[in-house]
Amino acid sequence: MTLPNFELEQALHAQGHVRIAGVDEVGRGPLAGPVVAAAVVLDPQDIPTGLNDSKKLTAKRRMALDIAVRERAEFAIAEASVAEIDEINILRASHLAMERAVAALNPAPDFLLIDGNMIPRGLTIPSEAVIKGDARSVSIAAASILAKNWRDQLMVDLAQQHPGYGWETNAGYPSKQHREALQNLGVTPHHRRSFKPVHNMLYQE
């Protein structure tokens, strides 16, 4: 397995950029809960070992790396709410969360490596979109870990308030348990009404 590396960041350092942030979001696909983004500026002299795409890590390893990144890097985490997702669509909301995470970094980064194939339109800092960035750049991988852990814990907390949907294990994604609970228990305030399975339940003819 090829792990993400620091090559993209090193090339940017060689061009004179000093503070390079990796940016990633998590939570586009779930039927419930916010979308979460993180921005991380790693210390080139102190990069935690084992950083990888958060989806390829065990929960235990992800938590250990989450702690390491928080202790050794600069970071910010931000959300876009369910109401915002429903109002402006999930793609724009995920970009809004990214923009908020970047804006929360202080001092501001001077270059951004953004996971995906689009640069959010609200960003004014020089940026590069990196397809499958969490598998290529350690900065983006670190951001993916922080964002996923933050969102997973948030969904565990929401599961306490709304038991039965299985959010503590499915994180709001449309698992069999979640879809059955929607039918049996109905729609909560945390469900995305613009998403087809939820929308169809609310507006059945």
Residue 40 within a domain: yes
**3-state DSSP assignment of residue 36:** strand
Nearest alpha carbon to residue 171 among 186, 201, 149, 142: 149
Task: Confirm whether residue 115 is marked as ligand binding.
Answer: yes
In the structure, what pLDDT confidence band is assigned to residue 1 with cuts at 50, 70 and 90?
A: low
Quote the tokens at residue 61: 């390893």
Q: How many domains does the chain have?
A: 1
Task: Confirm whether residue 152 is marked as ligand binding.
Answer: no
The enclosing H or E element of 181 equals helix 176-185
Residue 11 within a domain: yes
The string of pLDDT tens digits covering residues 176-198 is: 999 999 999 999 999 999 999 99
Residue 121 within a domain: yes
Res 204 pLDDT > 90: no
pLDDT of residue 202: 85
User: What is the share, in percent, of the chain residues with pLDDT greater than 90?
Assistant: 95
Residue type, 145: I
Mean pLDDT, the chain, rounded, equals: 96
The enclosing H or E element of 11 equals helix 7-14
Cross-strand bridge partners of residue 35: 80
Nearest alpha carbon to residue 78 among 57, 61, 93: 93
In the structure, what pLDDT confidence band is assigned to residue 205 with cuts at 50, 70 and 90?
A: very low
Residue 17 within a domain: yes
- Whole domain around residue 36: which residue ranges? 7-150
Residue 164 within a domain: no
Distance CA 47, CA 45 (A): 6
Residue 85 within a domain: yes
Residue 14 within a domain: yes
User: Dmax over Cα atoms in the chain, in whole Å?
Assistant: 60
Nearest alpha carbon to residue 90 among 166, 200, 199, 195: 195
Is it true that the peptide bond before 107 is cis, omega within 30 degrees of 0?
Answer: yes
Contact present, 78 and 95 (Cβ < 8 Å)? no
Residue 173 within a domain: no
Distance CA 73, CA 181 (A): 40
In the structure, what pLDDT confidence band is assigned to residue 203 with cuts at 50, 70 and 90?
A: confident
Nearest alpha carbon to residue 76 among 121, 36, 132, 48: 36
pLDDT of residue 2: 80
Q: Give pTM, 2 decimals.
A: 0.96
Quote the tokens at residue 41: 């500026």
CATH code at position 124: 3.30.420.10
Contact present, 97 and 26 (Cβ < 8 Å)? no
Task: Confirm whether residue 86 is marked as ligand binding.
Answer: no
In the structure, what pLDDT confidence band is assigned to residue 201 with cuts at 50, 70 and 90?
A: confident
